[in-house]
Amino acid sequence: MKPHPIPQRSTLVSQTIALVERGMREGRWTARLPSQSELCGQLAISRTTLRIALHELKRRGQIHVSQGSPAIILRRSQAGKAAQTIARVVLVLPEPLWCLRPSVARWAGELRPLVEQVGMEFVLSETSQPYRMRSVGHLEKLVQAHVAAAWVIFGATAAMQTWFAARGVPTILVGSAFPGVDLPSIEYDHAAIAQHAAAKLAAAGHERTAILLQRTGSAADTVTSAAFAAGRRPGAPVPVVLEHDGSLLEIETRLRQFARLSHRPTALFVTKSHAIPAVLTVLPQLGIVIPRDLSVICREDDPFLGYFVPAVARYSSDASAIARKLAVMLARLAHHQSPTVMHDRLMPRFVAGQSIGPPPVPRRG
């Protein structure tokens, strides 16, 4: 790609405006402009000149500027060529679809025909490489391999989100956006779920609680912990956090540590459904019966949770709603329009189950 010509001093601001408009018009930038530092480097101009130019483009209604984030493109100049058309949607997953939860497979499966109905190709990218620490090279190759694409990123790390936001390609996150990342997203309202779970346990009389939290690298980890702590009973101790990496070995280790606590919590909030079988098998082996000795709520739902005795209290989600909302957001991106809602939060339905009871009565003597 040929570099932009360097603006001359005599009309620096007006030439900068013209160059940015041309980049938007020709599809060089489709959803967002690069960061101010990147634009200054590309155009060989000062930040002061760029800010004056961006202010004028904002005044014309062509971009939206927010402090600390790349400018969002609202509409393109009508002169010259039309902006590049989005021809495909690429769904980026950290592992093969069959390895993920059934609800993910469901919304991904329902999204495909919705995308294809409007004439766009649907592509799955199932690889862990972009999710690794030094992923910039893999992301560059991935984007270069799919020109004229809109991107749906599931479970993106902070580095991935920052990279896609700076690159300015049309991107939607499925999951929580990290602080400072201004990308449209759709996710379950993890803060509301955690606070609701804490309130349910508090209403049942529990003061000492714990959270079995899988480290996923997503922004939802921090949000869930903070919201669960905020929802506890007034004056109650801060919840015990039992972090694990998702492996059975670590889950069992944390549960055994939990059982040995001198002032053991009487309620447990589990963030990942695949940890529930260990909770319901390891703890009874250690003399902790559910819900007699410990109340349990799971943040997620899976079909198998209804087949345990006692049935686990959980939050049942509507995967079809995610597919439908994604399709609407993608349609707006395809027409070079910003989403009507930047961060769409969904609240799943609470299923009471039979795993919540009152706190156990302390034994005398």
pLDDT tens digits, residue range 118-137?
788 899 998 888 887 666 77
- 82 SS3 class: coil
According to the model, what pLDDT value does residue 10 have?
42
What DSSP designation does 140 have?
Answer: H
pLDDT at 143 over 70: yes
According to the model, what pLDDT value does residue 85 have?
66
Q: Residue 239 is encoded by which pair of tokens?
A: 């919840």
According to the model, what pLDDT value does residue 6 have?
46
pLDDT at 3 over 60: no
CATH 1.10.10.10 range(s) for the chain read 9-73
CA distance 92 to 209: 36
pLDDT at 91 over 80: yes
The position carrying tokens 């980890």 is 221
pLDDT band at 363 (very low <50, low <70, confident <90, very high): low
Mean pLDDT computed over 198-206: 95
CA distance 212 to 204: 19
- 91: part of which helix (H) or strand (E)? strand 88-93
b/e 141-158 (16+ beta carbons within 10 angstroms → b): ebbeebeebbbbbbbbbe
Pick among 3.40.50.2300, 3.40.50.1390, 3.40.50.410, 1.10.287.110: CATH of 88-188+320-348: 3.40.50.2300
Pairing of β 313-316 and β 349-351? antiparallel
Q: Residue 234 is encoded by which pair of tokens?
A: 């007034």
pLDDT band at 341 (very low <50, low <70, confident <90, very high): low
Tens of pLDDT along 163-194? 888 888 889 999 888 888 888 899 899 999 99
CA distance 294 to 178: 33
CA distance 201 to 207: 8
Identify the burial level of 113 via C-beta atoms within 10 angstroms of its C-beta, where 0-12 means exposed, 13-18 middle and 19 or more buried. Answer: exposed
Identify which has the larger pLDDT, 9 or 36: 36
pLDDT band at 362 (very low <50, low <70, confident <90, very high): confident
pLDDT at 77 over 60: no
Q: Residue 255 is encoded by which pair of tokens?
A: 């549960």
According to the model, what pLDDT value does residue 39 have?
85
- 38: part of which helix (H) or strand (E)? helix 36-43
The position carrying tokens 């919840």 is 239
What DSSP designation does 310 have?
Answer: S
Mean pLDDT computed over 48-53: 86
Average model confidence (pLDDT) across the chain: 85
User: What CATH number was assigned to the domain covering residues 9-73?
Assistant: 1.10.10.10
Q: CA 158 from chain center: how many Å?
A: 10
Angle at 274 between CA 268 and CA 278, to 5 degrees: 60
Tens of pLDDT along 214-255? 988 777 888 899 999 999 888 899 999 999 999 999 999 999
According to the model, what pLDDT value does residue 163 have?
87
According to the model, what pLDDT value does residue 174 have?
92
Q: Which range, 138-152, 180-194, 258-272, is most confident?
A: 258-272
Of 76, 86, 88, 89, residue with least CA distance to 26? 76
Identify the burial level of 137 via C-beta atoms within 10 angstroms of its C-beta, where 0-12 means exposed, 13-18 middle and 19 or more buried. Answer: exposed
Q: Residue 284 is encoded by which pair of tokens?
A: 């009874």
pLDDT band at 323 (very low <50, low <70, confident <90, very high): very high
Fold of domain 190-316: Rossmann fold (3.40.50)
pLDDT band at 102 (very low <50, low <70, confident <90, very high): confident
CATH 3.40.50.2300 range(s) for the chain read 88-188+320-348, 190-316
